[in-house]
Structure 1
Amino acid sequence: MTAVLGRVGPMYASLARDLQRLVEDGAVAADARMPSERVLARVLGVSRVTVASAYRELREQGVLTSVHGAGTFVVPRSDTRPWGRLVTGDGPDVLEFVNAAPPASSFLGAAYEAAARGIATTSAHPGYVPGGAFRLREAIARRYTARGLPTTADQIMITAGATDAIHAVVAALVGPGNRVLVEHPTYPGALDTLRAVGATCIPVALDPSDPDAFVDAADRAARQHDPVLAYLMPDHANPSGTVLPTDTRRRLAATLHRRGVVTVIDEVSVDLDLDGHGPTEPFGAPVPDRAAVTVGSLSKSVWGGLRVGWVRADAAHLAAVATVYSARQLTVSLIDQYAAIELLGDYEAVVAHRCDQLRASRDALTSALTRSLPDWSFRSPSGGLSLWCTLPAGERSTELVDRARERGLMLAPGTRFGTGYAFDDCQRIPFTRTPEEIEDAVAVLAELMGGANAGPRERVPSRAVPEAVV
């Protein structure tokens, strides 16, 4: 921190602005204890009065708080606005771009019809399948094996979606006060889950243009903070779309294993390869099974309403997760599991159809943004579900989202994807809607960024009601 602040002048207002920038960029974490006035003044070569005045300015703005006898701390960001909560309205006039959730697959109906026929032949079955139906676990294990990670059905546990799997893994392996390494930005649901168990998130910056740098940064963070767990999305990360190259993920897996950190791999978007680069080696393939726990689901390739996810792990970790999970969930819906079996039987076609949809929407979004918002910067991801955009200098995502909401466009602010005050200069835009809806959403953003008030617009009905940012 002092290396950056050492470039500021002696004026307290300038120092306050630079301190606030460090907090907003995530370089200084929420809840962090600030250096004492005396120490910071000595390091920067300014007067103690200058530092005291800067701290006072930031206390008045709600960025810092001082506790007598304990010091000065960054105030955790508290945002009670309804990002990702239930959206209601009197009419179908909401453009819902909060969640990266595609519509139901066209293969879904036939899968449920086949599942219903299968259920009809099991009238004597009690309907409870702890751990999941064997045929489903076997089908998922075969896919891992085909990708280069030998797996048996005994290494798979079925859950009610990937988020349910993450909850179970975190509850089993993380306790209050434990540190967990997370890529930054990352999936907000994972951050919420970790906070709920009292864990401390250790953010490690992930630059899509330089993923190799993440390995060294993660190594330093693991050495300095001794995390018990790391949560990563190495394939089409949410929200950045980053894919870790094979050599990078091998080095990262080996590094975290050497540091004694169990890695939780979220593969919810692993199959959404839009540019035909082909499958990447599963994270953790070259290291022992105990080094990584993988979670996945059919929510993105098929439909979020199909609540079927899974955990893949070694016997010891899976037993711990299963013990936690069985205490709150007796079984996952059997008809959902039977439908998942049908879908996995024709999964290449299911995925190809989904990727065709997402590719058309991604291309529509990148084209519309380039045309209508040329000051926004982004890299077109090779897969996944969203664009991660950097806003022009001086623009704030939280303010933009507020203005867009008044125009019927629902977005999640960039700050939802990080810790503390980070990423208020970024905006995630999912490309899970139709090209027509995307064009309409970008038109609203262009109006707002240009300061124009175009009056009433024809709004495209929302086909999804968000409850949580996904």
Structure 2
Amino acid sequence: MADTGPSRAVNGAGRPDRTLGSRQLAALLPDPSGARPAYRHLAQAIGELILDGRIALHVRLPAERELAAALDISRPTVTAVYDLLRESGYAHSRQGAGTWTALPEGRTPRGVTRLLGARDPVIDLARAAPALPHRALADALARVSPQLAEHVDTPGYHPYGLPQLRAAIAGRFTRRGLATVPEQVLVTSGAQHALTLVLGLLCGPGDRVLVENPSYPNALEALRRARLRAVPVPVTDAGWDTGTAESSLRQSAPRLAYLIPDFHNPTGCLMPAEARARILRAAQRSGTWLVVDETLTDLALDVPAPPPFAAHAAPGGAGQVITTGSMSKTHWAGLRIGWLRAPARLVTELAAQRAATDMGGSVLDQLLALDLLERSEELLPARLAQLRTQRAALTAALTEHLPHWTWQLPPGGLSLWADLGAPVAAALADRARDHGVRIEGGACFATDPGVFEHRLRIPYTAPPDTLREAVHRMAAALADGLTPSSGTRRPHWIA
């Protein structure tokens, strides 16, 4: 039987669902011939993929016969796999209706656990986000309290965002070289919220979206949940292959492209100005909307902060560029304040979509964000100096304890993209937990299965002593001996 792409179905709970194709699932799984018993090995791998979010919940698994053919194993082996998944809570079935993915009682998806704080003595390197100095927060709260009192006599709903904050963000863009008015700004609950709103308005299931590979995991998950088809373009230690990006835009004509050109997450690369202009022209020719994530732009450690991506467009050529930003990386993620800049008409449509979900953000958080943004020239230099010190501590510790690892020193941003020299990232991340370090393997940042197993993203957002201790613990975990992660089947389907 032909293996079609994801299709709509209704599961036992009455939810509309997708069917995961047999070849698509096979591409995500390790070679079953490498372990015994094979059924237990495969069931464990599927459970891990569900926890990682790379297989969504409430998705119909392929028929046993089709998966057996795709994996080149016997049908009884696949039957045993599905039996074990049901027994362990990762799947449920109804006679004659199929088998769907599920989450076992008491288990938390790793996309959630990555955001949860780790308790001492665990060192958390899974999140690349800085803390806000206590004094800065206390001073800002004192300053905005009188302003908050002025708002309590109003309903407090601002679906576009607090007018003063919109004006401040517009002014920030203008000072950076991109003339902007408040009507072109929508305040959101973080940059991820902005991306989700854009995907919901501009894209439909099955649409192609150009993305960098590797890229920000939460953005990739948003694409998966919107049932969009990723068109990956590589980002290496040397940066972007602009010719490949132009070719992908021309041949695939994606509906949208999501880019992180400033201190790219996770590689740390900075896209050259010439490449920006070329990609802008190619996107304009293909009719592709560009969503440019500038959450890391201000974290320029060794170079001047770049101007807005859209400023590189020819006159009138920035009409299909949406720029997102956030307070999370420069100040504090706990504020949950982000924004997007787009044509005013599109901002109006996005605000209407936003009103259907949360109607507007917290007035207090927006007042705090406004206060902190207005004091960026006072606060940011200290932040950058701190990050340079922490980056130096991390690289020195890696050189001392793990000299065979390599990396390119990023000119800005919050993390290193380290090459371990062997495909042991997932195994090291698992072992590191036993040594009190939380970190994610490079596969979390991949658009395709089975890649970046030799990579780790290592943030330098913790104090120097903490970073040195984390490296010492990872070196101890590596010294215990690791088995390279089993090879996964490379995808032989087109996303």
Which bin holds the TM-score, normalised by the shorter protein?
A: 0.7 to 0.9
Structure 2 matches for 1:112-131, cutoff 5 A? 112-131=141-160
Show the counterpart of 2:309.
283
Which of 166, 171, 178 aligns to 1:137? It is 166
Q: Higher relative contact order at CA 8 Å, sep ≥6: structure 1 or structure 2?
A: 1
Contact 1:362 1:431 in 2 (8 A): yes
The residue type equivalent to 2:274 in the other structure is D
Q: Secondary structure at the match of 1:363?
A: helix
Contact 1:181 1:227 in 2 (8 A): yes
The residue type equivalent to 1:165 in the other structure is A
TM-score by length of 1: 0.78
The residue type equivalent to 1:219 in the other structure is E
Matched, 1:157 2:183: no
Relative distance call for 1:324 and 1:90 in structure 2 (3 A) is: closer
Show the counterpart of 1:93.
121
Which of 451, 465, 476 aligns to 1:447? It is 476
Structure 2 matches for 1:384-395, cutoff 5 A? 384-393=413-422, 395=423
**Cα distance in 2 between the residues matched to 1:55 and 1:123:** 61
CA deviations over 1:40-74 (Å, ceiling 9, x no partner): xxxxxxxxxxxxxx998589675999965997489
The residue type equivalent to 1:382 in the other structure is P
**Cα distance in 2 between the residues matched to 1:197 and 1:91:** 33
Matched, 1:272 2:299: yes
Contact 2:442 2:454 in 1 (8 A): yes
Show the counterpart of 1:323.
352
Give the superposition deviation at 1:421.
Answer: 2.1
Give the superposition deviation at 1:122.
Answer: 3.1
Count residues in correspondence: 399
CA deviations over 1:221-263 (Å, ceiling 9, x no partner): 2233231011000001111111101111111111122111111
Matched, 1:227 2:254: yes
Contact 2:118 2:124 in 1 (8 A): no
Relative distance call for 1:340 and 1:441 in structure 2 (3 A) is: same
The residue type equivalent to 1:334 in the other structure is V
Show the counterpart of 1:49.
none
Q: Secondary structure at the match of 1:421?
A: coil
Give the superposition deviation at 1:193.
Answer: 0.5
Gaps of 5+ in 2: 1-22, 47-61, 73-77, 79-100, 483-495
Show the counterpart of 1:305.
334
Matched, 1:255 2:282: yes
Relative distance call for 1:329 and 1:82 in structure 2 (3 A) is: closer
Structure 2 matches for 1:19-418, cutoff 5 A? 31=24, 57=33, 68=66, 72=70, 83-86=110-113, 92-105=120-133, 106-211=135-240, 213=241, 215-275=242-302, 277-285=303-311, 286-287=313-314, 288-393=317-422, 395-418=423-446
Relative distance call for 1:82 and 1:360 in structure 2 (3 A) is: farther
Give the superposition deviation at 1:90.
Answer: 11
Contact 1:301 1:350 in 2 (8 A): no
Give the superposition deviation at 1:367.
Answer: 0.9
Contact 1:32 1:73 in 2 (8 A): no
Could you tell which deviates more after superposition, 192-201 or 220-229? 220-229
Relative distance call for 1:115 and 1:205 in structure 2 (3 A) is: same
Relative distance call for 1:375 and 1:73 in structure 2 (3 A) is: same
Contact 1:84 1:99 in 2 (8 A): no
The residue type equivalent to 2:24 in the other structure is D
Q: Secondary structure at the match of 1:107?
A: helix
CA deviations over 1:123-173 (Å, ceiling 9, x no partner): 322211120111111111111111111100000001111111111111111
CA deviations over 1:106-136 (Å, ceiling 9, x no partner): 4222112211111113332221112011111
Give the superposition deviation at 1:330.
Answer: 1.0
Relative distance call for 1:410 and 1:91 in structure 2 (3 A) is: closer
C-alpha RMSD of matched pairs (Å):
3.0
Show the counterpart of 2:94.
none
**Cα distance in 2 between the residues matched to 1:397 and 1:128:** 46
**Cα distance in 2 between the residues matched to 1:224 and 1:32:** 26
**Cα distance in 2 between the residues matched to 1:149 and 1:345:** 18
Give the superposition deviation at 1:84.
Answer: 4.8
**Cα distance in 2 between the residues matched to 1:439 and 1:68:** 50
**Cα distance in 1 between the residues matched to 2:119 and 2:274:** 51
**Cα distance in 1 between the residues matched to 2:402 and 2:268:** 20
The residue type equivalent to 2:439 in the other structure is L
Give the superposition deviation at 1:450.
Answer: 2.1
Q: Secondary structure at the match of 1:170?
A: helix
**Cα distance in 2 between the residues matched to 1:301 and 1:55:** 43
Show the counterpart of 2:7.
none
Contact 2:239 2:269 in 1 (8 A): no
Percent of aligned pairs with the same residue? 36
Q: Secondary structure at the match of 1:180?
A: strand
**Cα distance in 1 between the residues matched to 2:151 and 2:112:** 38
Give the superposition deviation at 1:33.
Answer: 9.3
User: Would you identify which runs of 4 or more consecutive aligned residues in structure 1 move more than 3 Å?
Assistant: 54-75, 78-91
**Cα distance in 1 between the residues matched to 2:293 and 2:233:** 16
**Cα distance in 1 between the residues matched to 2:353 and 2:337:** 18
Gaps of 5+ in 1: 1-29, 35-53, 454-470
Contact 2:117 2:124 in 1 (8 A): no
Show the counterpart of 1:40.
none
**Cα distance in 2 between the residues matched to 1:267 and 1:254:** 19
CA deviations over 1:355-390 (Å, ceiling 9, x no partner): 111111111111111111111110110110110011
**Cα distance in 2 between the residues matched to 1:421 and 1:90:** 28
